[in-house]
Amino acid sequence: MSAAGAEVILGTWVPALGIFEKSMSMGKFDKSRALPDGSLMDFAKVYPMDAVFDTPDDVPEDVKTNKRYAGNEGYTVSEVADKVKADFGTIDILVHSLANGPEVAKPLLETSRKGYLAALSASSYSYVSMLQRFGPLMTPGGAAISLTYLASERVIPGYGGGMSSAKAALESDTQTLAWEAGRKWGVRVNTISAGPLGSRAAKAIGFIDDMINYSMSNAPLGEKDLKAEEVGNTAAFLCSPLASAVTGTCVYVDNGLHIMGLAKDSASLPQH
């Protein structure tokens, strides 16, 4: 989208903001920021943001006094939306690319209520909250997009802590939000179900390399790596006028892995 001329603004999780800004200044993201013309993608503005808090009243005292939040104010969803309105007036595109499951390594049967609800709060309700606050700033014909995962509808052992439920909620909410935001603001709402990628976030799950190998062994397009650019290209399409009649959809960008019902490399199958 930046390569097409979009002005990009970013909300970054407050405890990671300092590390993000330092890494940017040191050029650690330059390879990811490279644009086709050789220039580097830049951000018009970076805001501190914590999408599990809707308003200042929602922020508990232990967070307010936490040293990782020191020096940052106005990081709730409603406050960031107010800042964006003051700084830019309107926006055309809203990208929800965040998730957190504090107990993601635990099987669902071992997940606590607190961990389960935390996963839904950060990974799915945050999309609702963001659209509530940013929707009024969006131009008619604008688009909102999020990222989901196949665990919403298929069992992925190891993807626990309520994260599979959070992704299922995200996909269901995408349809309802498409109806409501479409009628209220003329905004389209979609989500992308991306296949396994070796991103920093995915590495936190602990078995992403195994999932990449599984995909390459079993996906219809298994002879190729899935690239982040392919997910980005789909997002750019969904947010562009080319997709002006597309809303409420989940688009799979996974080399076709989602259609498979049998693992070709299963040890129980005779090898031919």
87-96, 102-111, 112-121, 262-271: the lowest-pLDDT one: 262-271
Q: Which DSSP letter does residue 76 get?
A: S
Kindly state the average pLDDT of the residues 120-144: 98
pLDDT for res 188? 98
Distance between CA atoms of 118 and 125, rounded to whole angstroms?
10
Percent of the chain with pLDDT over 70: 96
**Residue 266 one-letter amino acid:** S
pLDDT for res 198? 66
Kindly state the average pLDDT of the residues 169-196: 97
Distance between CA atoms of 106 and 41, rounded to whole angstroms?
37
pLDDT for res 191? 98
21-30, 117-126, 128-137, 182-191: the lowest-pLDDT one: 21-30
Q: Which DSSP letter does residue 47 get?
A: E
**Residue 218 one-letter amino acid:** N
Q: What is the pLDDT of residues 194-212, one digit of tens each?
A: 998 866 666 666 677 888 8
pLDDT for res 200? 60
Closest CA to 189 of 174, 206, 201, 209: 174
Kindly state the average pLDDT of the residues 66-82: 95
pLDDT for res 205? 64
In the numeric block, which tokens belong to residue 83?
Answer: 């800042």
- Average pLDDT of the chain? 93
- Name the residues annotated as catalytic: 149, 159
pLDDT for res 84? 98
Q: What is the pLDDT of residues 209-265, one digit of tens each?
A: 888 888 988 899 988 889 988 999 999 999 999 999 999 999 999 999 999 988 878
3-state secondary structure labels for all residues of 235-263 = HHHHCCHHHCCCCCCEEEECCCHHHCCCC
